[in-house]
Amino acid sequence: MKKMIIASTSTIHGSKYLAYLLPTLKKHFNDVKELLFIPYARPSGISYDDYTAIAKKAFSVLDIDVKGIHEHKNAKEAIKNAEAIFTGGGNTFELVNQLYKNDVLTTLKEVLENGTPYLGTSAGSNICGVNMMNTNDMPIVYPPDFTTLGCINFNINAHYLDPIKDSTHMGETRETRIKEFHVFNNIPVLGLREGSWLEVNNDKVILRGELTARLFEQNKQPIELESGVEVEV
């Protein structure tokens, strides 16, 4: 019985870390006393301790303590015994690299499939899909495999951006990059805009937040999904 929040970002403009999600997280992590944090993505290259401190401060508002996975002697056992789990954003390549290096990807998938409440933001959301091939991140390290959790049957493009009207920038848009992906792959991709998230209850996936999301499927025109609808692919 999956119970997951898969968010495009941890922080929206003009707001504090996770602030926009706190009402949702209060319900999602109801009765949770301690949260296991996975800081492997290391945004801006910060240390695991510093990243965990950021998460700890945010969850203190909900009276939930936070302990980093790196603080445990056995990462696999920490995941198995966790009341709830949060994987933060940063670089998806490094996140996936460390999940493989520490041999915890399969264990993480198992506990999530069995109902351990989960929050992912950005890179922590990218890993919820079939693979990590729709991340926006630079390949700063080379993970053993691009295969990720597969807790949902499509991929996430977090921080999805629409083309800016009248822009003179000649670089590729996110839509162009996803179309390139679909030349070689048939996995659907959801462009999740800032401030949007997915609520996963078992196999039901609902789009939440105030914005639409853009769904791409191979050999089909992309469509806009309204907030509140079930994502079906």
Q: Report how far residue 143's alpha carbon sits from residue 179's, in angstroms, rounded to the nearest whole number.
A: 24
Binned at pLDDT 50, 70 and 90, residue 170 comes out as low
DSSP state of 147: B
Q: Is the pLDDT of residue 166 over 60?
A: yes
pLDDT for residue 114? 98
Q: How far apart are CA 36 and CA 65, in angstroms?
A: 9
Q: Give CA–CA dist 149/128, Å, rounded.
A: 5
- What is the arithmetic mean of pLDDT over 176-192? 98
> Which pTM was predicted?
0.96
Per-residue model confidence (pLDDT) at position 162: 87
**Range of weakest confidence among 18-27, 37-46, 170-179:** 170-179
Over range 17-41, report the average pLDDT. Answer: 98
Spacing of C-alpha 31 from chain mean position: 23
Whole-number pLDDT of residue 163: 75
> What is the set of active-site residues?
122, 137, 159
The model's confidence at residue 27, banded by pLDDT at 50, 70 and 90, is very high
CA separation for the pair 9, 56 (Å, rounded): 17
How far is 25 from 18, CA to CA, in rounded Å? 9
| Burial letters 165-174, b for 16+ CB under 10 A, else e | eeeeeeeeeb
Which one, of 86, 33, 42, lies nearest residue 62 by Cα? 33
φ/ψ of residue 42, rounded to 5: 45, 65
CB 167 within 8 A of CB 161: no
